[in-house]
Amino acid sequence: MIKLKIAVQKSGRLHDDSLRLLKDAGISIDNGKDQLKAEAKNFPVEVYYLRNGDIPQYLKDGVVDCAIIGENVLVEKGEDIEITERLGFSKCRVSLAVSKIFEYDSLSDLDGKRIATSYPNTTKKYLEKRGISADLHVINGSVEIAPNIGLADAICDIVSSGSTLFKNNLKEVEIMMKSEAVLAVSPKLPLDSAPILERLRFRIQSVLKGRSSRYVLLNAPNDKLDTIVSLIPGMKSPTILPLADENWSSVHSVIKQEEFWEVIDQLKEAGAQGILVCPIEKMVI
């Protein structure tokens, strides 16, 4: 039986969210013994648990068919690998940071300086594109300590909340790129595995659409129904049902999560009452 081979991070920031996404997509994986490869019980897929930095090469070589990986790692080690879905979690940025006492006005202040980083390719390309020459020190591990021990004048590293920079007396001065988890595909994906990948993508898309949407139920006075419906158009159009009170209707629709509070405020102002908002587990369009 043909199985799609998908790589996920063995441990770290992406691991739990990657497995949660697959679980929400209805894929049950038995990895109770912490093996490096596990099969799904109910979907033709094998999951490979790999070191994050090794995944791009596995994709290039066709050892795995696809992977859930941070976009920042893909840019650093596998820029030619196709991204087929943006997954919306594990968001971060790749940034340049300097000591808080470093007088920084522009990127030119780093010309000729020493920069410690775990992302030498990304850093080099970013600086060269802007005509900046710097001495790069490649460090695998705690890059943030480099300025404090005199190893470097600046660092390039991933930043999420910025708390690690703060604790090490550093300040973020340049955002080089923004990153999130993505589904990347091997350039050597076998033709007979492509249909399975499309099935997986369909499931993932349904999960992501559900996560980013909310189901809304409300009561609307009929004389204000057109205004209220215009605020929540839904996927195609809202469902409108008559209530026992002939002057009122029940309206059911979907809104985007990021627009939630703004839309709710507008609905109240338009006369909507009894507004209920529910999470959506999956949304198939």
Q: Mean pLDDT across the chain, nearest whole number?
A: 91
pLDDT digits (tens, 9 = 90+) for 39-83: 888 999 999 999 988 999 999 999 999 999 999 999 999 878 999
CATH code 3.40.710.10 for 92-178 = no
Which tops the pLDDT comparison, 237 or 187?
187
CB within 8 Å of 225: residues ≥ 6 apart: 240, 249, 251
- Predicted local confidence at residue 202, as pLDDT: 96
pLDDT band, very low/low/confident/very high, at 259 (cuts 50, 70, 90): confident
Number of CB atoms found within 10 A of residue 177's CB:
16
Angstrom distance (rounded) from CA 54 to CA 58: 7
Residue spans of alpha helices (H) in 1-93: 13-24, 55-61, 71-77
CATH code 2.60.120.260 for 213-279 = no
- Is the pLDDT confidence value at 13 over 90? no
Which of 87, 174, 157 is CA-nearest to residue 122?
A: 157
Average pLDDT over residues 138-155: 88
pLDDT digits (tens, 9 = 90+) for 177-231: 999 999 999 999 999 999 999 999 999 999 999 999 999 999 999 999 999 999 8
pLDDT band, very low/low/confident/very high, at 282 (cuts 50, 70, 90): confident
The class that CATH gives domain 4-90+180-210 is alpha beta
What beta strand segments (E) does the chain contain? 4-9, 37-39, 45-50, 66-70, 82-86, 92-99, 114-117, 135-138, 154-159, 170-179, 181-185, 213-221, 239-242, 248-256, 273-279
Number of CB atoms found within 10 A of residue 82's CB:
15
- Predicted local confidence at residue 30, as pLDDT: 75
- Predicted local confidence at residue 148, as pLDDT: 86
Angstrom distance (rounded) from CA 282 to CA 285: 10
CB within 8 Å of 208: residues ≥ 6 apart: 85, 87, 88
- Residue 252 φ/ψ, nearest 5 degrees: -120, 130
Which of 149, 265, 61 is CA-nearest to residue 50?
A: 61
- Is the pLDDT confidence value at 32 over 60? no
Amino acid at 171: K
- Predicted local confidence at residue 179, as pLDDT: 95
Angle at 16 between CA 10 and CA 20, to 5 degrees: 125
Angstrom distance (rounded) from CA 137 to CA 140: 10
Domain ranges of the chain: 4-90+180-210, 92-178, 213-279
pLDDT digits (tens, 9 = 90+) for 104-139: 999 999 999 999 999 999 999 999 999 999 999 998
* Domain 92-178 matches domain 213-279 at the CATH topology level: no
Angstrom distance (rounded) from CA 61 to CA 48: 14
- Predicted local confidence at residue 33, as pLDDT: 56
- Predicted local confidence at residue 227, as pLDDT: 92
